[in-house]
């Protein structure tokens, strides 16, 4: 049996700890749920999905998402969208409950705020958790069976909460009066859903092209040295601090079998934004080297494989690969403006990220210092590449 805090084991060994994966969240994790509800979304039109799947799948990217890379590492299949499941067999190895546009707070909450809720799907975190409970009872009719299922499952909740701020932001609501006060409400809603899981934080939205366009300023002091909007990143940091404090508060003090991990999506994306050329895709080049061997008296040619990093492009860090993708719909024959190589870009469509960026974040969560085991008293970021595969959770 896998134990909590199993350290320094290989990914292959650790992957056996988890027989299934459950994912909750929004467009960062949605593998097709919103597309089932609304087949007219942009993510079901080309060029979404072009990099890996070579077809649109409903994912808001050119390829795989963070949760897809986690599933691959666990040697599990890509998660089936909950709304695509027909029988209990569809859910044996996990389910993806995430829905693009979903919020932590309910749709009704934003309706009561006076927001236009037509773009807010009725799949808030509460609803996703209720769907999970239904699936859990399908998989395990008895309480003992459900405990056994949970002891061998990894749950990832999030990123969730970003849309709770996006929707009011995009409808020009007051930041200080209406948006900033949402933070404790959003955190409380996430807290109510948490049992034993991995919980990622929010992204540095001040570096996201859509936000950079909406809140562009002529005041240089509004921007940091890397071109990101300071106050937006400060707001994302406030959300993440509140989330971490909440996680510290709810972790049981005297139960070593329960583990909660925090995923630092903010830090991972900030790293590739600030040092883009240090990260990215590796290319293999063959070098031909001739040398003379005195003993043999002959020329010899040897072949050396050089692993060279071709990183993200520094000049496009804050621009989208496909700036007009979100306006493209299935069946629309109009052309779009697509960058020649999405793997060089961090942003895919101005709001979501490329497969290359998601892969960096996923690897940072799995085996780099962008994950932290939450302790009841103090959050401690691991400095060694321990990764989520080594965090085992039981309830």
Q: Please say if 275 is a catalytic residue.
A: no
Q: Please say if 349 is a catalytic residue.
A: yes
State the sign of the Cα–Cα–Cα–Cα dihedral 217, 222, 223, 228: negative
Q: What are phi and psi of 285, to 5 degrees?
A: -120, 145
Question: For 166, which DSSP code?
Answer: H
**DSSP H helical segments within the chain, as ranges?**
11-15, 33-37, 66-73, 107-112, 125-139, 143-151, 162-170, 182-193, 209-214, 230-250, 265-274, 355-367
Contact 346, 363 (CB under 8 A): no
Contact 68, 31 (CB under 8 A): yes
How far apart are alpha carbons 12 and 167 in whole angstroms? 41
Tokens 């890509």, residue located? 78
> Which residues, including other chains, have CB under 8 Å from residue 392's CB and lie 6 or more apart?
2, 3, 4, 5, 6, 17, 259
Strand spans (E) along the chain = 20-24, 94-96, 153-157, 198-200, 261-263, 280-293, 298-311, 371-373
Q: Among residues 27, 61, 153, 343, which one is catalytic?
A: 27
Question: For 200, which DSSP code?
Answer: E
Contact 60, 352 (CB under 8 A): yes
Contact 159, 202 (CB under 8 A): yes
How far apart are alpha carbons 204 and 207 in whole angstroms? 6
Tokens 């496009």, residue located? 316
Class of residue 282 by CB neighbours under 10 A (exposed 0-12, middle 13-18, buried 19+)? exposed
> Which residues, including other chains, have CB under 8 Å from residue 183's CB and lie 6 or more apart?
238, 239, 242
Q: Which residue, 242, 166, 250, is CA-closest to 211?
A: 166
Class of residue 182 by CB neighbours under 10 A (exposed 0-12, middle 13-18, buried 19+)? buried
Question: For 317, which DSSP code?
Answer: T
Q: Among residues 345, 349, 367, 390, which one is catalytic?
A: 349
Q: Please say if 27 is a catalytic residue.
A: yes
Q: Among residues 279, 328, 345, 352, which one is catalytic?
A: 352
Contact 107, 120 (CB under 8 A): yes
Q: Which residues are catalytic?
A: 27, 349, 352
């Amino acid at each position: 049996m896998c134990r909590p805090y199993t350290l320094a084991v290989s990914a292959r060994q650790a992957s056996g700890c988890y027989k299934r994966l459950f994912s909750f969240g929004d467009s960062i994790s949605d593998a097709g749920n919103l597309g089932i509800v609304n087949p007219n979304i942009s993510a079901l039109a080309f060029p979404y999905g072009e990099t890996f799947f070579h077809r649109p799948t409903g994912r808001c990217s050119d390829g795989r998402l963070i949760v897809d890379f986690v599933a691959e590492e666990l040697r599990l299949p890509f998660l089936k969208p909950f709304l695509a499941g027909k029988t209990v067999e569809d859910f044996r190895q996990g389910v993806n409950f995430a829905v693009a546009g979903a919020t932590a707070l309910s749709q009704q909450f934003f309706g009561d705020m006076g927001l236009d809720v037509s773009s807010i799907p009725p799949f808030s975190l509460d609803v996703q958790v209720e769907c999970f409970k239904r699936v859990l009872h399908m998989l395990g009719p008895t309480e003992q069976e459900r405990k056994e299922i949970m002891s061998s499952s990894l749950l990832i909740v999030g990123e969730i909460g970003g849309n709770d701020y996006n929707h009011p932001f995009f409808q020009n609501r007051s930041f200080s009066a209406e948006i900033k006060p949402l933070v404790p409400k959003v955190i409380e809603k996430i807290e109510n859903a948490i049992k034993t899981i991995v919980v990622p934080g929010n992204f540095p939205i001040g570096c996201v092209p859509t936000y950079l366009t909406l809140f562009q300023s002529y005041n240089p002091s509004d921007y940091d040295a890397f071109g990101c909007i300071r106050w937006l990143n400060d707001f994302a940091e406030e959300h993440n601090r509140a989330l971490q404090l909440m996680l510290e508060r709810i972790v049981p003090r005297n139960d070593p079998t329960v583990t909660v991990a925090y995923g630092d999506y903010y830090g991972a994306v900030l790293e590739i934004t600030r040092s883009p050329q240090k990260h990215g895709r590796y290319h293999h080049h063959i070098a031909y080297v001739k040398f003379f061997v005195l003993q043999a008296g002959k020329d010899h040619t040897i072949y050396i494989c050089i692993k060279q990093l071709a990183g993200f492009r520094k000049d496009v860090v804050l621009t989208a690969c496909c700036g007009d993708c979100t306006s493209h719909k299935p069946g629309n024959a109009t052309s779009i403006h697509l960058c020649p190589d999405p793997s060089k870009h961090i942003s895919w469509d101005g709001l979501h990220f490329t497969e290359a960026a998601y892969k960096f974040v996923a690897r940072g969560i799995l085996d780099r210092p962008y994950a932290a085991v939450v302790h009841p008293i103090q959050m401690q970021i691991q400095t060694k590449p321990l990764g989520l595969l080594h965090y085992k959770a039981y309830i």
